[in-house]
Amino acid sequence: MRGGHPVLDMKYNYDETAKELQVSVTQSQKDVYRLPVQTWLMYGDKPELTETIIDEKTKTFTYPYRNGVKPVVLIDAGHWVVGEVNYNMKPWQWLAVFKQSSNNIVNKMLAVGDARRNVEDTASQAVIDLALQDKEADIRRLVLENLGNLNAKQWQDKWKTNVSYLATNDGNNKVRAAAFDLLRKWKVTTARQDMYEALNDSSYMVAGAALKGLSIIEKDTAYPLAKKMLQTDPRGDLRATCWDILAERGNAADIGLFEKESYNVYGRSKIDFAQSFSVYMKNVKDEKALERALNAYSMLIKTENIRSYRGAIGTYLFDVARDEKDRIKEARTNPEQQEEMRRQDKIKAAINEMVKEETDEDNKKQYDRYMSMVF
């Protein structure tokens, strides 16, 4: 038996004198495997498919130019290797691969990833342009998520029109939601009206992403909208976003809403709500509202029968305590510090009660670790 897995590293040498491409494939792991792989050979048209065997530590393949055209070669184009493949291709090579990968979604995903890392290259920009129009919804969504890592205004200006179009016109709800998420990250104020209109979308995912966008672009408007939308009993992402917005505001008057939801939420949604509820406890200034929140939150934990869910919900309470600990350190005056210490005492009492009543050993161990870290 051999341990580990194959790790392939590619190197490309375009020899202009010999008019040929040499592709070297090195197995970087300790043991050498015999690996059959599918290879694409491209001269600007449909790929020629061949099966190649990688059975040496380093194996080199040679491909001639054709009529002055440099070949693009993709080793393991079918992704048969169960291991790590480092293609190490240039953006222009990935562009060629993307154009020929009509039905190979993995190739397109790899090309999009490389384009994000090398966005300054015009070939990478061409890959992004193609991906935004790709027939596969997963590729359109992937490129939108990748664009979220680009903070420079020049890239936002280059693609925000395309992103706005997808947000309002794409036929896939996940793509539309991803587009609204990106418009939020980029703080594209011109998308404000599209976000308002999307609040009534039949997809809670799209409506939630639009409301989250408004919470950044028009924070004061998003808060009353979220409270109003909760009255319609929304589901999914829209409901979760409403609670996130209320939590960020930390209005003591909203404690009744959080208490009521504590009795009605269940399943995975309970964990999402608990996270929002913990943020509310961090932000609410009124001590009585905090006390009521801690009581409701304790009930949220006690009524959860799935131990892993209960452990996750309990963990958020330690986040509240950690945040309060930081505020005590940052207090500028003695009255402020005393106020924060009173809050911490209430939070710690709720945590002690939670730890005392926990019956699962794994959760207990987890809580003990957090206790030593926070207090």
Helix axes 287-302, 255-262, angle to 10 degrees: 10
How confident is the model at residue 58, as a pLDDT?
96
Give the tens place of pLDDT for each residue, 144-201. Answer: 999 999 989 999 999 999 999 999 999 999 999 999 999 999 999 999 999 999 999 9
Mean of the per-residue pLDDT values of the chain: 95
The Cα–Cα gap between 95 and 206 comes to 31
The side-by-side arrangement of strands in the sheet containing 7-15 is: 58-64, 20-27, 7-15, 84-86
Q: List the structure tokens of 211.
A: 């409301």
> What residues have CB less than 8 Å from 157, skipping those under 6 apart?
none
Report percent pLDDT > 70 for the chain.
99
Largest CA distance in the chain: 82
User: What is the rounded CA–CA span in Å between residue 317 and residue 281?
Assistant: 9
Checking if the pLDDT of 135 tops 80, the result is yes
Distance separating alpha carbons of residues 7 and 33, to the nearest angstrom: 10
**150 contact partners, CB below 8 Å, separation of at least 6:** 116, 119, 156
Confidence band, pLDDT 50/70/90 cuts, at residue 331: very high
Q: How confident is the model at residue 12 (pLDDT cuts 50, 70, 90)?
A: very high
- Residue 3, pLDDT above cutoff 70: no
Q: Which CA distances in Å does 228 have to 158, 199, 211, 225?
A: 36, 12, 12, 5
344-348 contact pairs (CB < 8 A, 24+):
346/287, 346/290, 346/291, 346/294, 347/281, 347/294, 347/317, 347/320, 347/321, 348/321, 348/375
Q: pTM value?
A: 0.89
Tell me what pLDDT residue 1 has: 42
Q: Which helix (H) or strand (E) holds 366?
A: helix 361-374
Note the pLDDT tens digit of each residue in 210-227: 999 999 999 889 999 999
Residue pLDDT, tens place only, 84-100: 999 999 999 999 999 99
HSE, side-chain direction, 13 A CA sphere, residue 239: 17
For Cα atoms 354, 269, 217, give the angle at the middle one, nearest 5 degrees: 110
Contact call for residues 212 and 152 (beta carbons, < 8 A): no
Q: What is the pLDDT of residue 2?
A: 54
CB of 57 closer than 8 Å to CB of 26 = yes
Q: What angle do CA 130, 134, 140 make, to 5 degrees?
A: 95
Q: Which residue has the tokens 């002690």?
A: 352
Is the pLDDT at 45 greater than 90? The verdict is: no
| Residues 28-50, mean pLDDT to the nearest whole number | 91
Instruction: Check residue 69 and report its DSSP letter.
Output: B
The span from the CA of 323 to the CA of 335, in Å, is: 18
* Cβ 297 vs Cβ 274: under 8 Å: yes
The continuous run of DSSP H or E covering 227 comes out as helix 219-230
Length of the chain: 375
| Dist CA 301 CA 322 (whole Å) | 19
Cα gap 30→21, rounded to integer Å: 27
Residue 262, pLDDT > 70, answer: yes
pLDDT number for residue 328: 94
C-alpha 345/C-alpha 352 separation (Å) is 10
Q: What is the mean pLDDT of residues 357-375?
A: 94
